[in-house]
């Protein structure tokens, strides 16, 4: 029997110093396109700048709390307010938007060409530590059933992830995004959503979206007992205004921080989703009638709205 050996000169693996230099260069190139997603002033996860106009990709579970305020922290030191444009709980994906332009983005790789054994890298903010790089190899690519008719593919690797990495990029050796780190199905291996799954979902979204907004930040609160009984229909919660955008403050004085929104056109607004749906139905109206709890009394106010174009 003939035994064949492979000499070091036959190996295609780069020398350690070349490999290290390439990883350092890759990290420096991609870092500006990776952000930390903050929730109410705390670190919550990681995001990827997907478009220079301020669209950012992250996991749905990072921004699942619809009542929370979100911020993104950039590598250049800036902190920007972020809004959720789109959600996909089944695939655990979300699109955020910040008011910025000419941002650095990442190139997108073809996850369908990934092979078991390829080097992959993750950059994120585990346990709040910012821009941490870990490396590993692709272990397998398989499907995981997350709903009756949804079985998306996932990339499993031995890249080290921890809370705070969610929503960050899984990168190939060229620094291209081949997956979105999810963690939540991980078990013993880290799990990422393939980039082609993400791209297919984004392609299905509308290219633009008109949104009616009040230009405020809200938080769900319980109503005092004496107020609950006086409302018809009765309800237990309202929406406390905790912030007002500067543009709205300059134009209108009909809403104040500390006001509690009770209803819109007679329909209770006990959560953010209901408020957005009712505002959408009011498109074309410059004002909407609202009952508001202000200073312990319920008052009726015609609240000014504005319509903005949002790019998907």
Query: Residue 10: what pLDDT?
Result: 53
Q: How confident is the model at residue 205 (pLDDT cuts 50, 70, 90)?
A: confident
Between CA 303 and CA 251 the distance in angstroms is: 12
Q: Which of 166, 195, 270, 282 is catalytic?
A: 166
Q: How far apart are the first and last CA of the chain?
A: 63
Check whether residue 184 and residue 215 sit in a common domain. Answer: no
* Annotation says 140 is catalytic: no
The answer to whether residues 151 and 178 belong to one domain is yes
What CATH code is carried by the domain that includes residue 130? Answer: 2.40.10.10
What does the pLDDT look like over 105-145, one tens digit per residue?
999 998 989 999 999 999 999 998 999 999 999 998 876 55
**In a shared domain, residues 231 and 295:** yes
- Asked if residue 64 belongs to a domain, the reply is no
228 & 307 share domain: yes
Single residue among 204, 222, 241 that ends a domain in this structure: 204
Which of these three, 204, 226, 246, is where a domain ends?
204
Q: Is the pLDDT of residue 11 over 70?
A: no
- The reply to whether 168 and 228 lie within a common domain is no
Catalytic residue status for 166: yes
**9 part of a folded domain:** no
Number of domains within the chain: 2
Is it the case that residue 6 has pLDDT exceeding 60? no
- Write out the residue range of the structural domain in which residue 242 sits: 209-311
215 and 165 within one domain: no
Query: How would residue 60 be classed by pLDDT, with cut points 50, 70 and 90?
Result: very high
What is the spatial distance between Cα 221 and Cα 94, in angstroms, rounded to a whole number? 26
pLDDT higher than threshold 90 for residue 77: yes
Kindly report the CATH number assigned to the domain that includes residue 218.
Answer: 2.30.42.10
Instruction: Choose the final residue of a domain: 173, 204, 235.
Output: 204
On whether residue 289 sits in a domain, the answer given is yes
Interval 182-199 mean pLDDT: 80
Q: Are residues 200 and 235 in the same domain?
A: no
Q: Measure the CA–CA gap between 58 and 168, rounded to whole angstroms.
A: 7
- Asked if residue 142 belongs to a domain, the reply is yes
pLDDT band at 194 (very low <50, low <70, confident <90, very high): very high
d(CA 296, CA 299): 10
Whether residue 200 sits in one domain with residue 213 = no
State whether 224 and 272 are in the same domain: yes
Average pLDDT over residues 273-301: 85
> Do residues 180 and 274 share a domain?
no
Q: In this structure, is residue 185 part of a structural domain?
A: yes
Same domain, 188 and 130: yes
What pLDDT, in 10s, does the model give residues 19-43? 899 999 999 999 999 999 998 767 6
Do 224 and 171 reside in the same domain of the chain?
Answer: no
Question: 157, 172 in Cβ contact below 8 A?
Answer: no
Q: Which two tokens stand for residue 81?
A: 């307010």
pLDDT bracket for residue 67 (50, 70, 90): confident
pTM score above 0.75? no
* Residue 1: both structure tokens together: 């029997």
Q: Which helix (H) or strand (E) holds 273?
A: helix 272-281
Q: Is 286 inside a domain boundary? A: yes
Say if 88 falls within a structural domain.
no
- The larger pLDDT score, comparing residue 214 to residue 13, is at 214
Task: Note if 61 is an active site residue.
Answer: yes
Q: 279: pLDDT confidence band, cut at 50, 70 and 90? A: confident
What is the phi/psi pair of residue 61, to 5°? -70, -20
Active-site residue, selected from the candidate residues 60, 86, 92, 263: 92
Q: Is residue 197 part of a domain?
A: yes
């Amino acid at each position: 029997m003939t035994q064949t050996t492979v000499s070091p000169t036959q190996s295609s693996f780069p020398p350690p110093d070349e490999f290290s230099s390439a990883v350092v260069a890759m990290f420096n190139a991609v870092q500006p396109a990776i952000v930390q997603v903050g929730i109410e002033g705390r670190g919550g996860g990681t995001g990827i700048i997907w478009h220079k106009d301020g669209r950012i990709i992250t996991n749905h579970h990072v921004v699942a709390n619809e009542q929370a305020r979100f911020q993104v922290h950039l590598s250049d030191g800036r902190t920007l307010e972020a809004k959720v444009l789109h959600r996909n709980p089944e695939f655990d994906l979300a699109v955020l938007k910040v008011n910025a332009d000419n941002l650095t983005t990442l190139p997108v790789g073809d996850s369908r060409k990934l092979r078991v054994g390829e080097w992959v890298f993750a950059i994120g903010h585990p346990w709040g530590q910012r821009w941490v790089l870990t490396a590993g190899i692709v272990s397998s690519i398989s499907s995981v059933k997350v709903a009756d008719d949804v079985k998306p593919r996932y990339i499993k690797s031995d890249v080290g992830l921890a809370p705070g990495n969610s929503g960050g990029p899984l990168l190939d050796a060229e620094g291209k995004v081949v997956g979105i780190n999810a963690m939540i199905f991980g078990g013993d291996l880290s799990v990422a959503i393939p980039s082609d799954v993400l791209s297919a979902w984004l392609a299905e979204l509308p290219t633009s979206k008109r949104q009616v907004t009040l230009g405020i930040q809200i938080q769900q609160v319980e109503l005092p007992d004496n107020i609950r009984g006086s409302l018809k229909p009765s309800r237990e919660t309202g929406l406390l205004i905790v912030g007002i955008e500067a543009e709205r403050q300059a134009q209108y004085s009909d809403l104040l921080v500390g006001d509690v929104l009770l209803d819109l056109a007679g329909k209770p607004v006990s959560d953010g989703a209901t408020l957005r749906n009712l505002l959408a139905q009011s498109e074309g109206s410059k004002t909407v009638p609202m009952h508001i709890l202000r200073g312990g009394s319920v008052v009726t106010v015609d609240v000014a709205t504005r319509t903005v174009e949002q790019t998907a």
